């Protein structure tokens, strides 16, 4: 009689046995804590997946218990809170700020990568033992990956994490290792958009869905961000003006329908009139016909506007020798530059709190020649 086949499992808790009556191999999993066996049937691959997942969850639970025990011991002995525990408290602070209207929900969620990076780097170490080197290591990882803007954001978030910790008395006054790190330098690589380039892209946009070219006109005529353009409704028009509450800053702007872009020879009133069609919709930019998950008359997502602009740009055949090609957002800068030449108050139009921010949009990054006046 042949000897029973031996199986090399290699997964903790998983084993098998052969039923002598049926000659079938059955798999089972032994819980490492209770010692109870759980039958997993005859499917070897399924049994291995279940056992692996069970071990993973047990490890996660053990780590969570370890964190809680470490925190309890630290608290009872008067030691500092751990980095992970403070991140949880900081997250609660962010939730309260969102509820109070101090920050946007998107701002709070945007801070999560930085918080996760702090937990990954420092975990159960006492918060007051986190060093500048630890923070620099986190920031340098993002810089090395070629995302300096994200590195700047992470640094900014971690500075705020330790400011809140100081306020809560979890670290000594003035203790802020993130503040001591050098702010990563992020060189702007995205190209500005010239009016001539805009016109060539617009030609391609007119060959696409009607709302593609309409979105470009609204972007140049209003100077607003893509999210605010996507959110525009016909009901936002009253007292002969288009009213906008900016998604990013909450700035409230009323743009007169008589606003005229001389470079296009078009007013806001005329542009909105172009957006009206037989489709019944509350949105100025809307689906003309059901397509994919979108239904006729529905609001267009800002991601959709961004992607379709990029497609029209690529179809134009335009090339840029350096940096990344201009995105939908670059129409905001072009709008500012065109209106400033007309003498329009672009700071109010763009909804900026400071003139210095508006001046950033006016910078063409060496795009155009500066003509010397005689």
Instruction: List pLDDT tens digits, range 271-306.
Output: 999 999 888 899 999 988 767 666 888 899 989 999
Give the start-to-end residue ranges of the domains of the chain. Answer: 14-64, 80-167, 195-362
Q: Are strands 260-261 and 252-256 parallel, antiparallel or unpaired?
A: unpaired
Instruction: Return the number of other C-beta atoms located less than 10 Å from residue 290's C-beta.
Output: 11
Active site (annotated) includes residue 332: yes
CB pairs under 8 A, 24+ apart, for 208-214?
Answer: 208/308, 208/311, 208/312, 209/288, 209/308, 210/277, 210/288, 211/275, 211/285, 211/286, 211/287, 211/288, 211/300, 212/305, 212/308, 212/309, 212/312, 214/271, 214/274, 214/275, 214/285
Full-model pTM: 0.63
The secondary structure of residue 184, as a DSSP letter, is P
From the list 225, 260, 286, 302, the catalytic residue is 225
From the list 29, 90, 142, 361, the catalytic residue is 361
From the list 48, 329, 340, 367, the catalytic residue is 329
What pLDDT sits at residue 164? 94
Active site (annotated) includes residue 167: no
What pLDDT sits at residue 371? 57
Active site (annotated) includes residue 145: no
80-167 fold: DNA polymerase; domain 1 (1.10.150)
CATH fourth-level superfamily of 195-362: Intergrase catalytic core (1.10.443.10)
Cβ-contact 365, 231 below 8 angstroms: no
- Choose which CATH entry (3.30.160, 1.10.10, 3.40.1440, 2.40.50) describes domain 14-64: 3.30.160
What pLDDT sits at residue 101? 86
Stretches where the chain sits below pLDDT 50 are 1-4, 374
Burial 173-198 (b: 16+ CB within 10 A, else e): eeebbbeebeebeeeeeebbbbeebb
From the list 155, 192, 347, 352, the catalytic residue is 352
From the list 31, 68, 248, 365, the catalytic residue is 248
Q: Which residue has the tokens 């470079």?
A: 263
Active site (annotated) includes residue 329: yes
From the list 332, 337, 339, 347, the catalytic residue is 332
């Amino acid at each position: 009689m042949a000897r029973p086949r031996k199986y090399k499992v290699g997964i903790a808790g998983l084993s098998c046995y052969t039923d002598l009556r049926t000659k079938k191999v059955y798999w089972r999993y032994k819980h490492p804590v209770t010692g109870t066996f759980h039958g997993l049937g005859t499917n070897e691959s399924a049994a291995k997946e279940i056992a692996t997942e069970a071990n993973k969850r047990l490890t996660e639970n053990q780590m969570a218990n370890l964190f809680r025990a470490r925190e309890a011991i630290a608290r009872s002995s008067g030691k500092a809170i751990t980095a992970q525990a403070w991140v949880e408290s900081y997250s609660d602070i962010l939730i309260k700020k969102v509820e109070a209207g101090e920050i946007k929900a998107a701002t709070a969620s945007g801070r999560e990568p930085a918080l996760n990076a702090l937990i990954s780097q420092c975990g159960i170490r006492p918060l007051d033992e986190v060093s500048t080197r630890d923070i620099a290591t986190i920031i340098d990882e993002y810089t090395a990956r070629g995302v300096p803007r994200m590195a700047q954001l992470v640094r900014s978030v971690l500075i705020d994490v330790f400011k809140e910790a100081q306020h809560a008395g979890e670290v000594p006054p003035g203790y802020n290792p993130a503040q001591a790190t050098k702010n990563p330098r992020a060189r702007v690589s995205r190209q500005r958009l010239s009016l001539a380039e805009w016109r060539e892209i617009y030609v391609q946009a007119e060959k696409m869905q009607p709302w593609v070219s309409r979105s470009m006109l609204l972007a140049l005529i209003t100077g607003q961000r893509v999210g605010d353009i996507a959110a525009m409704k016909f009901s936002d028009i009253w007292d002969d003006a288009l009213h906008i509450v900016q998604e990013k800053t909450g700035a409230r702007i009323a743009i007169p329908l008589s606003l005229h872009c001389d470079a296009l020879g078009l007013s806001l009133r005329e542009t909105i009139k172009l957006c009206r069609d037989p489709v019944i919709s509350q949105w100025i930019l809307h689906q003309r016909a059901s397509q994919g998950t979108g239904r006729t008359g529905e609001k267009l997502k800002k991601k959709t506007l961004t992607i379709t602009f990029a497609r029209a740009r690529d179809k134009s055949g335009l090339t840029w020798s350096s940096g990344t090609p201009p995105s939908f957002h670059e129409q905001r800068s072009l709008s500012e530059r065109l209106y400033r030449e007309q003498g329009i108050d672009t700071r109010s139009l763009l909804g900026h709190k400071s003139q210095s921010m508006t001046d950033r949009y006016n910078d063409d990054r060496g795009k155009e020649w500066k003509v010397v006046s005689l």
